[in-house]
Amino acid sequence: MSGHSKWHTIKHKKAAIDAKRGKIFTRLIKEILIAARNGGDPESNARLRTAIVAAKAVSMPADNIKRAIMRGTGELEGSTIEEVSYEGYGPGGAAVIVQCATDNRVRTVSDIRHIFSKAGGNMGEPNSVAWMFERKSQVVIEGDKTSEDQLMEVALEAGADDVQNHGDSWSVLSEPDAHDAVVAALAKANIPTLSAEVGLIPKNTMAIDGKHSAGMMRLLENLEDYDDTQNVYTNYEPDESAIAAMS
């Protein structure tokens, strides 16, 4: 199945739990801070606009958003946060990309390498797996929140490229430039979204069975739980036993 991994849906359901712990706030504040370096006006800064929409979706207070923007533009002092990405392979050979935001590169690369190694995977060189992914807008919707006909009509008319049915969820794929229009059209049609982001989508997914699948799930969960992690992308397609183990 091209362009989608069940892990994408799983991790955003997991994000609802993270939101209750406040962890998602930290990640979104970092994203707003980094995005604001290219300008504090969301009307002319698409990345900042997307980050603000995501922050409001989890009820982040307006003051938190404002302070993060001011730190990003330099109006308020704060520690320097850098964006770094790491690539590697998990158990069974599935590709993984980890995007981090850190104030200490040395610490972060050491920690990420340890997480890969402990799970039976290994870090690769830059661009070792990046070619397996493409940058896309992906909006995930729970399967019972809309019908195929309604979703197809709304999404494609707004500029989406594809609508995919995964049983318990839908994914709407678009070019990054169409992201805002698609999200706005879904909101206008009262179709609630589980997640909406511009990120890396696998060109093809990879199924792994048995112990490697369980190890891959542990690797992805540990990477997601790491404090400096912003996003985790993979071409791994979880099997039903691995999904059940998470329940």
37-53 tens-digit pLDDT? 999 999 999 899 989 98
- State yes or no: pLDDT of 247 exceeds 90: no
CA atoms lying within 13 Å on the CB side of residue 222: 19
- Its CATH class, for the domain covering 133-202, is alpha beta
Strands of the 169-174 sheet, one edge to the other: 162-165, 169-174, 133-142, 195-202
Structure tokens at 111: 């920690």
Residue that is written with structure tokens 């982001």 in the block: 197
118-166 tens-digit pLDDT? 999 999 999 999 999 999 998 988 888 899 999 999 999 999 999 988 7
Structure confidence at residue 14 (pLDDT): 57
Structure tokens at 103: 């104030």
Domain at 82-131+205-246: CATH architecture: 2-Layer Sandwich (3.30)
Q: How confident is the model at residue 4 (pLDDT cuts 50, 70, 90)?
A: very low
CA dihedral of 22, 230, 202, 92, whole degrees rounded to 10: -90
Structure confidence at residue 144 (pLDDT): 86
* 37: region left, alpha or beta (phi > 0 left; psi from -120 to 50 alpha): alpha
- State yes or no: pLDDT of 54 exceeds 60: yes
173-190 tens-digit pLDDT? 999 999 989 999 999 999
Question: Given CA atoms 240, 195, 67, 62 in this order, what sign does their dihedral have?
Answer: negative
Structure confidence at residue 208 (pLDDT): 85
- State yes or no: pLDDT of 244 exceeds 60: no
Domain borders along the chain are 6-73, 82-131+205-246, 133-202
82-131+205-246 and 133-202 have identical folds: yes
Mean pLDDT of 15-25: 62
- State yes or no: pLDDT of 34 exceeds 70: yes
- Print burial letters for 191-228: b (CB count within 10 Å at least 16), e (below 16): bebbbbbbbbbbeebbebeeebbbbbbbbbbbbbebeb
Classify domain 6-73 by CATH number: 1.10.10.200
